[in-house]
Amino acid sequence: MNRHDSISDLIAIVARLRDPQDGCPWDQEQTFRSILPFTLEEAYEVAEAIENEDMKELREELGDLLLQVVYHARIAEEQGSFAFPDVVQSISEKMIRRHPHVFGDAELEDEEAVRANWEREKAAERASKRQRPIGSVLEGVAQALPALVRAEKLQKRAAVVGFDWDEMEEVFDKVLEELQECRETLRAHAEPTERVHEIGDLLFSCVNLARHMGVDAEQALRAANHRFERRFGRVEVCLRAGGQEPSAAVRPEMERLWSLIKSEER
């Protein structure tokens, strides 16, 4: 069996699948919008493979994600917009442009300077695309991003122009302030909309805290979800081994098992 291990092989495979006469009926019908959910799903499956440190699965998921890129590029080529080589050229030029300290003569002394330069380059690129002066520093942060990711990106943009906390303690204080405001809305029987606003402010401040601690908030929450699933799954197993089912009636036992399992993991 011949090896199909070059990008040109994958491009040819997708082109054959999309062929109007001899292709696959399902593939022939797909559009940018119809395959978008698959693109997002594959990106998250890559993240899960990384979190699980499963290299075999990561290899497979990266292939699935690459297929999505080739697929979008093929649809664009059929429409006469651009082709896969244009995608490669675009990202290659962008990476060289955004790393003048590697591919040019610029001197950026530390990681913070590199990040600041990266944001300046991105801002200039956004302005160039619009052919007008740079507007808000927050322009271009995609609305479709997960909320935690978007919050962090907005905060980083603002931080580049100096709108940020100076001390870590100020960030902790802000989280506590927002938490207290959530308590007050509950005690005051505030309208649901106000509760939503206060919870949003609390979450936003928690993302800010994560950012200042050097933690990716989205990844931290994903990891917390995994821990909860794993621990609660063990609680269920232990309960059923003793002839019980999870329910409010056995809550004390569930809490005892939870504490035990948590301490064992630590």
- Please compute, for residue 118, the number of CA atoms within 13 A of its CA located in the half-sphere on the CB side: 12
Q: What pLDDT score does 133 carry?
A: 56
Q: 5: Cβ–Cβ under 8 A, 6 or more apart, which residues?
A: none
User: Which residue has 């928690």 as its token pair?
Assistant: 206
* Per-residue model confidence as pLDDT tens digits over 74-126: 999 999 999 999 999 999 999 998 888 888 887 777 777 777 777 777 777 76
pLDDT bin (cut points 50, 70, 90) of residue 127 is: low
* Per-residue model confidence as pLDDT tens digits over 171-227: 999 999 999 999 999 888 889 999 999 999 999 999 999 999 999 999 899 889 989
CA distances to 43, 158, 159, 192 from 164, rounded to whole Å, are 30, 7, 5, 30
pLDDT surpasses 80 at 149: yes
* Per-residue model confidence as pLDDT tens digits over 234-265: 999 999 999 999 999 999 999 999 999 999 88
Q: What pLDDT score does 190 carry?
A: 83
Rounded CA-CA distance 156/178 in Å is: 20
Phi then psi for residue 216, to 5 deg, are -80, 115
Q: What pLDDT score does 1 carry?
A: 59
Phi then psi for residue 260, to 5 deg, are -65, -50
Closest to 185 in 3D by CA, of 202, 205, 209, 208: 202
CA 86 to chain centre: 25
Phi then psi for residue 106, to 5 deg, are -65, 150
Asked if 233 and 257 count as a contact pair (C-beta separation under 8 A), the reply is no
pLDDT surpasses 60 at 134: no
Q: What pLDDT score does 109 carry?
A: 75
CA 243 to chain centre: 41
Rounded CA-CA distance 205/233 in Å is: 31
pLDDT bin (cut points 50, 70, 90) of residue 161 is: confident
pLDDT bin (cut points 50, 70, 90) of residue 142 is: confident
Q: Can you give the pTM of this predicted structure?
A: 0.67
Q: What share of the chain is helix, strand, coil (3-state, %, to 5)?
A: 75, 0, 25
